[in-house]
Structure 1
Amino acid sequence: MWLFPGDPDPLAIRPTVAVIADERGSVIVDAGQSPAHAREIRAGLAAAGLPAPRWLVYTHHHWDHVWGACAWPEVEIVGHEAGVAPLRAEARRPWSHRHLRETVRAEPRLGPSYRARALAVDSWDGFAVLPPTRTFTDELTLPTGVRLRHVGGRHASDSTVVLVPDSQVLLLGDCWYPPPAHLRGPAEGPDLAMAAGLLTDDVRWYVSAHDAPLSLAEARAALTG
């Protein structure tokens, strides 16, 4: 398994992307937060000599996890069915820097997210928001043995965790994070009960999208400390 680490600056909103390389066809987990980000990941894959992905898995529908998908035209996009409707709605919006500015003027609470989007996208030529082309409801195992499980939660209704059995890695996306800032109440924090429920001796490493990977021991200590 190969990780393209996220940006440690929280204002960048640039998550970690994972690739599970396999001779049967590689799986990329999350698309990158822009076509430019996806192109960096492509270059990294080529430099590492890893096979191109055949499947792209969305951990959830938020922009920073899906906006790079249009730069992966050859892959099958897999996501939970609850993400289809919001992504179709996003796909109909007239994305441009002008649209971002006008939306923030109308809804100032969206400012941090929309400013990050404006910085992420260098060109809107060919840009598109893509819903999944293959959906599931509860669990799905890809031909490579990678397992997807819907966990939902307050961050996103379609949150999905991705288990890589051979590596004993669980990719968490943002599933245990609080709701996005513009939807978050003043007392809402991380979903620690969900995080604790995902701990198991069958997993050695836990990888969240905006934090450093944690070993099982580190994750247990973080939740009990």
Structure 2
Amino acid sequence: MGLKRLTDRIYYLEHEPETDRPMLAYIRGDKWSLAIDAGYSSSHVADFYGAIEAEHLKKPDFTVITHWHYDHTFGMHAVSGVSIAHEKTNEFLKKQQEEAEDSGYIEALKREDIHFRREYADLDRLDIVLSDLEFSDRMTVDLGGMTARIFHTEAPHSEDTACIYIPEEKVLFLGDSTSEDFFNDGYMDRDKLASLIRTIRSMDCKYCILSHCEPLGKEDLLCYLESIL
């Protein structure tokens, strides 16, 4: 599976439903490059980097995490360059590190999650790390001709949700933010969803990118979200 091009400067590796691997994105600046999310495992990272190199692009200088869930973070130990996450993301990952000290934790995840079992079929240990840099509210990374505006936002999926806005290309990366909270019995907090809808509507974007589906137009996504509110 190779990279797909969304715009002249933005590429992505498609999500994989069989293992529930999320989409991983690549933003090419004149000076620096930035990836969105660190993937499910070192194997996921290797597939992503192989697709990047096939397009004669360099490995990312930065990797931004959208939230702590393991399909987005358990590959962080294998990423190139500097990783960036919200401070709450690191708090959650610290708890994951503590749980992973129990040698039976990975087997418990395999029993509970068929997608995890497929991704980690040949692995018997976890390498969970925290990000190199963290932020509390928002930060901006100047890539040279491209800007990544990273900000924390209220969302129903996870408390640590971070979105990434690329103003030059009018693209907003939303991670899994629009989904229910799978770690809280699939609860959908409609007040948080309404807040997220207001955030999306306020952004000057053409594309909205969710991690487990194809890119969507802003109005198409808003129409869907308002229908479930």
Q: TM-score, normalised to structure 2's length? A: 0.82
2:60 & 2:109 partners in 1: Cα distance?
35
1:38 & 1:215 partners in 2: Cα distance?
27
The count of aligned residue pairs is 212
Residues 165 and 78 of structure 1: CA distance in aligned 2, closer, same or farther (over 3 Å)? same
Q: Name the residue aligned to 2:115.
A: 116
RMSD after superposition? 2.4
1:34 & 1:203 partners in 2: Cα distance?
30
Matching residue within 177, 180, 186 for 1:178: 180
Q: Name the residue aligned to 1:108.
A: none
Q: Please say if residues 26 and 53 of structure 1, whose CA atoms lie closer than 8 Å, have aligned partners that are also in contact.
A: yes
Identical residues among aligned pairs (%): 23
2:203 & 2:85 partners in 1: Cα distance?
26
Contiguous gaps of at least 5 residues in structure 2: 1-9
Q: Name the residue aligned to 2:3.
A: none
Matching residue within 99, 106, 118 for 1:100: 106
State the SS of the aligned residue for 1:146. Answer: strand
Residues 27 and 126 of structure 1: CA distance in aligned 2, closer, same or farther (over 3 Å)? farther
Residues 137 and 99 of structure 1: CA distance in aligned 2, closer, same or farther (over 3 Å)? closer
Q: TM-score, normalised to structure 1's length? A: 0.84
Q: Please say if residues 95 and 124 of structure 1, whose CA atoms lie closer than 8 Å, have aligned partners that are also in contact.
A: no
1:44 and 2:51 are equivalent in the alignment: yes
Deviation at 1:55, TM superposition (A): 0.6
Q: Please say if residues 150 and 159 of structure 1, whose CA atoms lie closer than 8 Å, have aligned partners that are also in contact.
A: yes
1:2 and 2:11 are equivalent in the alignment: yes
Deviation at 1:103, TM superposition (A): 6.2
Matching residue within 93, 104, 111 for 1:87: 93
Residues 169 and 129 of structure 1: CA distance in aligned 2, closer, same or farther (over 3 Å)? same
1:201 & 1:156 partners in 2: Cα distance?
20
Specify the code of the residue in structure 1 equivalent to 2:132. T
1:220 & 1:153 partners in 2: Cα distance?
14
